[in-house]
Structure 1
Amino acid sequence: MAVGLAGDLRQPGVNGGDAMWMGLGAAVCFGTSDFVLGSLARSIGVRRAAFWNQLIGLLAVTMLLCQLPSSKQVFASAPAAAWIAGVAGGLAYLLGSLALTRAYSLGAAAIVGPLGNNSGAVATMLSMINGQIPGAGTLTGAVLCVAGLPLAARGARSTSTSSTPAALYATFASVAFGVSLWVQGRWSVPVLGPWLNLWIAYLVGVPTLIPLLSRLPPKTEAYSRRNIGRLLCVCTLSLCARGCIAVGLSIGPTALVAVLSALSGTVTALLGVLLLRERLTVVQWCGVGVVIAGIVVIHASR
């Protein structure tokens, strides 16, 4: 079996505490990136935002792989099953990214954030179906996350945007991210390592989005100085978040890093309430609270 790229990052004395900080760093970066992503998608469009995010990420990770001595060995010796799993996981991640970007362009960040970051619960349920029964705490947290979804989607006040479509897109994103996490974590990451998996995800996304992007009418105002600044902010934060996850996966348990990074929805929700003064109904607050409580319970059970 090929040695994963994670081996390049293992250092003596590294422990689970370092992986915890990587997971929390990913949560902060992803949460902030998603917060900015909403206004960017409304301005330049969902597909444009997703394409540039994927392209810049692909270029950055390609340069990183060129500096890793084990990358050539992995390319040459990895079995076909690992590549197939990486591509499948990359496609699932791309669908999740498009759905989440669309959700942020339609609804309040305080709702979309927690709903769109339930990949940990989805991956847990898929593991159960596959015969891997989690502990009572993890199972309880997953049930809470699922139960909070319909509550957060109900009771919207009359505004210019509807929370129901946004909630549906965010829920689909959670499922897609969970499937991607489960597929890659089970069949691809152990063989290819996190960095090569990340590269595959970007590589799958760019050529897939090019035909979709070519159908859009020209929109020169989309690339204003303000939008370029927001795009660079989103791409940089997304790369930092994925880098934290890659390092975390190489030095600690995958479950710990994945669950902690899912707290990004809490970060996005708090930014929406504090900076945009987004208002939620009591029912929606209850749904958001239940989802956040489920994520916390999953984390506490690890």
Structure 2
Amino acid sequence: MDVLMGLLAALLWGGTDFMVGLNARAVGVQRAVFFSQTLGLLLMSLLLVVFPAFLLKLTGAAPGDWGMGVLAACFTLCGALALSKAFSIGKASIVAPVVTSYGVVTTLLAWLGGERLSGLQLVCIGLCVVGVILSSITRGSDTPHHVEPRRSIAYALLGALLYGTSLWLQGHFTLPRLGTVGMLWLGYLVGVSLLLVLMLSRGGSLKPPAPRHAFALAGTSLMNLGGFSAFAFGAMAGSVSVVTVISTLSGGIAAILGYLFFKERLAPVQVVGVTLVLLGAMVLHVKA
């Protein structure tokens, strides 16, 4: 079951990564994230109403747990904005694998917290760093006009840093106390609230997107939630490490989708870089 759920999570998250760039280019980065998170907030609120046990766990948490949850949610929101920007100006075949390097961030934070790193973990961190460098090497001859390789990788690395920090905070401080559904609800609530203030202060448009864009945004949000659900179910029914490792294949799936639908071609050195990032990230999750 854990293998099946890990594969399902990878497929859904890979599809999510692929769609993020399309949504951002169609309606703008902030609007895309805002409407996707609004749908997530509505669905999580419905779950809290239908299953009171989730709500009781959330309301029974201490104020400090709520504070850490809000902090983690802020990191998640900033990470979502950074990744949306990265996918909107970069190739999914490069950006998605680079994002999987968030495992490096969680590992380094664990090390700063007192955990010891093995030689294999240090090697994997080195592989990810070398892979990112190789992935950023471009020749520019057949690059589409909207693609900005260096900036997209910078935003992808920023997103990985923010997501990795958020996941570390959640794993150590909030998920055991707020619960998965409660933390997701709080994350969406903080994200929607902050984006609403940001967009109104800057004169951003809150006009609902056109129907075809709305369907794309809804589909992306549902795929993301489906990925989280598959991951959580697989972790409860089997091995957390197995589900986590297999789910990191989402970067490769997004890269394949980018090639199939947009004919995103990579130079040989970039293929090597992407492979190193994926390999390093997978082995890091095995040893986590």
User: TM above 0.5, one fold?
Assistant: yes
Task: Pick from 212, 223, 230 the counterpart of residue 216 of structure 2.
Answer: 230
Q: State whether residues 81 and 187 of structure 1, in contact with CA within 8 Å, keep that contact through their aligned partners in structure 2.
A: no
Deviation string 1:240-285 (CA, Å, 9 cap, x unpaired) is: 1122233345455655544443321111111111221112222222
Q: Rate the CA distance shift 1:24–1:141 in 2: closer, same or farther, 3 A.
A: farther
Pick from 189, 192, 202 the counterpart of residue 188 of structure 2: 202
Runs of 4+ in 1 over 6 A off after TM superposition: none
C-alpha distance in 1 between matches for 2:280 and 2:86 = 21
Q: Does the 8 Å CA contact 2:131/2:274 hold for their aligned counterparts?
A: yes
Comparing 124-133 with 209-218, greater Cα deviation is found at: 209-218
Aligned equivalent of 1:182: 168
Identical aligned residues as a percent = 35
Aligned match of 1:10: none
Tell me what 1:103 maps to.
86
TM (norm. structure 2) is 0.90
Does the Cα contact within 8 Å between 1:30 and 1:237 map onto a contact in 2? yes
Q: Which amino acid aligns with 1:210?
A: L
- When structure 1 is superposed on structure 2, of 124-133 and 245-254 the one drifting more is 245-254
The answer on whether the counterparts of 1:148 and 1:291 sit within 8 Å (CA) in structure 2 is yes
Q: In the alignment, is the contact (CA less than 8 A) between 2:242 and 2:286 conserved in 1? A: no
Matched position secondary structure for 1:157: coil
Is the alpha carbon distance of 1:110 and 1:72 closer, same or farther for their aligned partners in structure 2, counting shifts above 3 Å?
Answer: closer
What is the aligned partner in structure 1 of residue 62 from structure 2? 79
- Once the two structures are superposed, what CA deviation does each residue of 1:218-249 show, in whole Å capped at 9, x if it has no partner? 597x8233212211211111111122233345
Q: How many residue pairs get matched? A: 284
3-state SS of 2:263 partner: coil
User: Of 92, 106, 112, which aligns to 1:123?
Assistant: 106
Q: What is the match of residue 295 of structure 1? A: 281
Q: Is the 8 A contact 1:260 1:299 kept in 2?
A: no
Contact 1:123 1:178 in 2 (8 A): yes
Residues of 2 paired with 1:165 and 1:205: CA distance?
A: 24
Q: Which consecutive residues of structure 2, in runs of 5 or more, have no partner in the other structure?
A: none
Given that 1:26 and 1:240 are in contact with CA atoms closer than 8 Å, whether structure 2 keeps it comes out as yes
Aligned counterparts of 1:56 and 1:232: Cα–Cα separation in 2:
7
CA distance in structure 1 between the aligned counterparts of 2:233 and 2:44, rounded to whole angstroms? 13
Q: What corresponds to 2:158 in structure 1? A: 172
CA RMSD of aligned residues (A): 2.2
Q: 1 CA distance for matches of 2:269 and 2:59?
A: 54
Partner of 2:72: 89
Q: Secondary structure at the match of 1:223?
A: coil
Quick one: which amino acid aligns to residue 133 of structure 2? Answer: P
CA contact (8 A) 1:194 1:250 kept: no
Distance 1:193 1:136, change over 3 A: farther
Cα distance in 2 between the residues matched to 1:50 and 1:139: 34
TM-score (norm: length of structure 1): 0.86
Structure 1 unaligned blocks of 5 or more: 1-17
Work out the CA distance in 2 between the residues paired with 1:206 and 1:295.
30
Conserved? CA contact 2:248–2:278, under 8 Å: no
